[in-house]
Amino acid sequence: MVKPSGQRAFVISDGVEVSWNWGAKGITEVNWDEWDAFHSHCGSTSVFLCSRMMRVLLRCQERPVGAVIWRKAGAIVGIACIEDSFAESVNLDDHVASERSWFNVISKLIHGRSGRFTFKVRVVGTVLGSGEHGQLWSEAIAAQDRDRWLKETIFQSVDLSGDGIPKVVMVKDQPILHDNRRQATYEGWIPLEFDPEMLFHCDPKWEGFDSYLAQLKTKARTKINRIMSLSEGLEIHPWSLDSIEREGDALIDLYRRVFERSGFRLGSLHQSELVESKRTWGDDFVVNGYYLNQQLVGFQCAYVGAEELEAFFVGFEPELLKSHAIYQRMLVEFICLGLKRKCKRVNMGRTALEIKSSVGALPRRLQCDVRFKNPLFHRIVRWYTGGYDPAKISLRQAWKADAYPLVRHSEIHSI
């Protein structure tokens, strides 16, 4: 059934009703109070699956996003954010480690002379965020039912533009606990592991920045002090909605200077998303501009949820990375914002791992599960990807042995 409103609805096995609400036209089809009630009942702290975020994403015209709802006997049993996007791999062999000699040869053939390989992908999850933000299910639903319903749903709906359904689906991000080898979450799918997400845990007993510094090793404290010294010439000013509407293109230009340096890209940030985020989230979407000699040289933005702060995106002049420690200062400011807003955790994403570890962020391994619609290509990719892991990176050990963040991090790996 196709409604001109932007909702696509159909029935799958066990009489489960699926509604797929695409874009701005789909916003009015969703009962957002009911959505948030389910989100809260499931105990989710994710800012990316709450109604405020979903409405922002659905309004962003550059991003084909759908809010998916599964119902059984009229009651919500599952929700998800699903987005059709483009993935781009840039010189993949520079970012992964393989024990198979032929891996680099095949990688170079796939990436061609340009060193780039681009393909369209349907993503279950937030394209521009890292972590368990893609789907949420009632505890009453058995894992095998949840997995089957997702598989029956994922290749069913085209977006409002009428573009064809992508031939590949990626479900992100599921945690890999302890030192386990990645394993397929869904039978027959291909598990892939990229860089871990970096998490900063805030001790509820900390009274401020000095309390944070007190739990760091001497070497880490010295590094923080050096960051503050090098960045002393930077001025930090908040951006209002009016500023983002008028001059937000300057922020996107700065973002692209960082974005173009990444090895694997999934989606891209747009000015309209910054505008809608500020309009919808207000003071809970923080955008700070960084100025040097009264010139804009960088920015950072973050979503403040009920318990977690999502350090969303940054952009800056690359030459200031060493001379003014601009990126490191942004990480410190994310931590300060998390402490100020009494957040339990600051989610810092999955790039610049060593730098983030130096200020106290800790790694949590994640995997994505991939399914290709073409069975032959699926088998080829499974064989091809079986021989690589993320390139190993040396992380800093910033915390004292009895520091709260180390204890809390070990707890989430036992869940």
The type of residue at 259 is F
Of 413, 251, 258, the closest CA to residue 351 belongs to 258
Specify the pairing of strand 75-90 against strand 366-372.
unpaired
Residue 223 lies in a domain: yes
Task: Return the SS3 of 322.
Answer: helix
Structural domain of 250: 199-364
Residue 186 lies in a domain: no
Residue 207 lies in a domain: yes
The predicted structure's pLDDT at residue 3: 45
DSSP letter, residue 62: T
Specify the pairing of strand 264-266 against strand 75-90.
antiparallel
Residue 297 lies in a domain: yes
Question: How many Å apart are CA 351 and CA 331, to the nearest integer?
Answer: 12
Residue 156 lies in a domain: no
Of 250, 330, 324, 252, the closest CA to residue 286 belongs to 330
- Sole residue written with tokens 């291909």: 190
Phi-psi region of 151 (alpha: psi -120 to 50; beta: other; left: phi over 0): alpha
The predicted structure's pLDDT at residue 342: 96
The type of residue at 69 is I
Residues 6+ apart with CB under 8 A from 143: none
The predicted structure's pLDDT at residue 390: 75
Q: Domain of 226: which CATH number?
A: 3.40.630.30
Q: Are 332 and 228 contacting, i.e. CB atoms less than 8 angstroms apart?
A: yes
Give tens-digit pLDDT for 300-311.
999 999 899 999
Q: Is the dihedral of CA 111, 112, 116, 117 positive or negative?
A: negative
Low-confidence ranges of the chain (pLDDT < 50): 1-4, 95, 98, 102-103, 106, 109, 111
Q: Long-range contacts: 380-385, Cβ < 8 Å, 24+? A: 381/190, 382/190, 384/103, 384/106, 385/190, 385/192
Q: Are 63 and 74 contacting, i.e. CB atoms less than 8 angstroms apart?
A: no
The C-alpha angle 20, 25, 27, rounded to 5 degrees, equals 70
Question: How many Å apart are CA 347 and CA 372, to the nearest integer?
Answer: 30
Residue 152 lies in a domain: no
The two tokens of residue 64 are: 């084909």
Residue 151 lies in a domain: no
- Sole residue written with tokens 């030192």: 179
Model pTM score: 0.90
The predicted structure's pLDDT at residue 414: 62
Question: How many Å apart are CA 297 and CA 254, to the nearest integer?
Answer: 8
The predicted structure's pLDDT at residue 388: 73
Q: Are 82 and 122 contacting, i.e. CB atoms less than 8 angstroms apart?
A: yes
Q: Are 408 and 364 contacting, i.e. CB atoms less than 8 angstroms apart?
A: no
Total number of domains constituting the chain: 1
Residue 113 lies in a domain: no
Q: Are 77 and 140 contacting, i.e. CB atoms less than 8 angstroms apart?
A: yes
Residues 6+ apart with CB under 8 A from 316: 254, 257, 258, 290, 297, 298, 299, 326, 327, 330
